[in-house]
Amino acid sequence: MNRFTKTALHWTMRGLTRGLVPLLRFRPVLRLYNAAYERAPRPALLLANRMVRRPKVDDYHWTVRLANGRRVRIPIGGGSEPGWAVALEYRRHAPGLNRLEAVLCDLLAPDAPYLDIGANRGLRSLTALSTGRPVFMFEPNARLNAINRRNCEANGFDNAHIVAACVSDAPGSVDFYFDATGFLSTVHGERIEEKIVDRVETVPAITLDAFWRETFGTASDALIKIDAEWHERAVISGGREMIQALSPTLIVEVQRDADLDFISGELLPAGYRVWQIDAHSTAARILHPLSPPLGAGAHLPVDSRDFLFALRPEVHDAVRPLEAPPVSS
């Protein structure tokens, strides 16, 4: 496709989508668009995200189709309302993670808990919530917790437990940095550019070990997702006893090589295996087995900072169909 054709196609689509936005204010049209979006191939929904402006509507529940076949309802209202971001983001953002979560949740016992550490807007909790298992959403950001609470109430998810605390390596309190949007927050202020730090708040800090003993100490298994914006090392350090007792499966976003080296050094000697997750891929095989040493200089097959750590043989067997062939360095 030459440059002229691309330009013509762009402006044609822009004209069509501008005409679509006013129609989306009518509920039957919005419901039709909702159904089409949730069934669209990925290139089409990426185009829709880029070209279609979000209409200002009140009291509409967008239906999201999860990778496990279940559906959840996301309340939206107003063109800039955060509900739109949650509603459209599930299918757009990380289809590889969606599939992996469906496989892992299907493998867990119904009463085994799911821990979402750094829950943000709750996308990574949706699959677990839909299964009815206990879900603990750890998020110190009050604005995000309000969004998650609203979404859980809209679906009757009484299995959701929102924990307004930072998971760390010691109990107490920590300074938490927030950007102006309210959607990026972290213990590590350097993670946010100084010019966009909006405020700093002191929030409670807890450890996984203490929370496990007090809340689900009788569980025999767990699935844990960690996306803590450079704080993953502290989360793991504060959960050593729980990890040793439960051998949970972990999905961890690790931004820094030194942290990947540390976490691998904690888990691999205990028998854990590690895969890099091609989180944004729609391919059938999204897991890339890794071998130590990991960290600085290690070859990572794909451009992703999401990793799966699993010890249990049944998990190894379940994810084998998702394993990609080796990629030469």
CATH for 221: 3.40.50.150
User: Residue type at 4?
Assistant: F
- Of 47, 77, 93, the position where a domain reaches its end is 93
Same domain, 30 and 163: no
In a domain, 327, yes or no: no
| Tokens encoding 117 | 């550490």
- Of 93, 112, 141, the position where a domain reaches its end is 93
Residue with tokens 């063109």: 79
CA gyration radius, the chain: 21
Same domain, 177 and 280: yes
Same domain, 277 and 161: yes
In a domain, 329, yes or no: no
Same domain, 157 and 299: yes
Same domain, 73 and 100: no
Helix/strand/coil for 312: coil
Q: How many domains does the chain have?
A: 2
Same domain, 185 and 75: no
Same domain, 71 and 104: no
In a domain, 83, yes or no: yes
Q: Is 295 left (phi over 0), alpha (psi -120 to 50) or beta?
A: left
Same domain, 202 and 176: yes
pLDDT at 262: 95
Q: Is the dihedral of CA 151, 157, 158, 160 positive or negative?
A: negative
Residue with tokens 């529940």: 61
Structural domain for 245, as ranges: 95-322
Same domain, 165 and 260: yes
* C-alpha to C-alpha distances, 76 to 79, 93, 120, 126, 320, nearest whole angstrom: 9, 18, 17, 16, 38
Residue 86 exposed, middle or buried by CB count within 10 Å (0-12, 13-18, 19+): buried
Same domain, 153 and 291: yes
In a domain, 25, yes or no: yes
In a domain, 256, yes or no: yes
* C-alpha to C-alpha distances, 304 to 78, 188, 257, 279, nearest whole angstrom: 33, 21, 12, 7
pLDDT at 3: 65
| Tokens encoding 326 | 């080796």
Same domain, 84 and 218: no
Same domain, 89 and 227: no
| Tokens encoding 111 | 């009463």
In a domain, 29, yes or no: yes
- Given a cut of 70, the residues of the chain with pLDDT beneath it are 1-20, 78-81, 181-195, 197, 327-329
**DSSP labels, 57-71:** -SSEEEEEEPTTS-E
In a domain, 328, yes or no: no
In a domain, 226, yes or no: yes
- Of 49, 65, 93, the position where a domain reaches its end is 93
In terms of Cα–Cα distance, which of 268, 285, 266 is closest to 277? 285
